[in-house]
Amino acid sequence: MHSSKLSLGFKGERTYIQGADMLCATMQSIRDHAPDARIEKLDFKIGTMTSHLLSCHWWPKSTPQAPMGKDIASFTFHLDGVEHEGKLIQAEGHAESRRAYDESLIENNSHYSSTRRSISLTNMPEDFSSIEVLISLNKALHLKELCLPSGSQWVFCRWESPEWPLSQNLDGVELTIEQTLGTRLSRTRVELGGERISTLYFSALNVD
């Protein structure tokens, strides 16, 4: 089993670790260990929000492991064709660092189409990762397309993609909500150049 501590902090006024950071830190940990390996069939699921520090653990699926501690997220992926699985486990201590995070810079570079019921990126903003951009665009699309109960907010809870990493230039990427189960779960198709590059899942979280 491969294990590492993740370096995570807060963004803006958030009091929890953003899901985009969980995903990106996890995949960076894997790439640090296997920088030349091919990563495919990624499925990353967040089970609960947390303000704690996290440790990342992953292993070949053929040799099951059970890391001790509270599960925060789980994931599966293929590494050079070999199926792996892993978990993010809550560690002792809380995240302490914080950085500014202005999502309006992403939405200001997007175009919403009410006829297509989709949102697209017109220009890739600087200083944001591809995942940050897609999650922010999806949130903006949800706020335009779906009703949200009072005291709730949309949160990212699952990511699927045929390969990793994504291109850092997402100019023209288009997001379309494919399916909703009330506010419990939504599924969004992400396309670039007519090709599906990922699927995003959101859920409404009560913050009262």
CB atoms inside a 10 Å sphere around CB 62: 9
Each domain of the chain, given as residue ranges in start order, spans 2-98, 102-206
Equal CATH topology for 2-98 and 102-206:
yes
pTM: 0.95
Q: For domain 102-206, is the CATH number 3.10.129.10?
A: yes
Q: H-type helices in the chain, by residue range?
A: 19-33, 104-107, 130-145
Preceding amide of 165 cis, omega within 30: yes
What is the SS3 string spanning 80-102? CCEEEEEEEEEEEEECCCEECCC
pLDDT of residue 140: 97
pLDDT of residue 122: 96
| CATH top class, domain 2-98 | alpha beta
The pLDDT confidence band at residue 208, using thresholds 50, 70 and 90, is low
CB 25 within 8 A of CB 7: yes
Length of the chain, in residues: 208
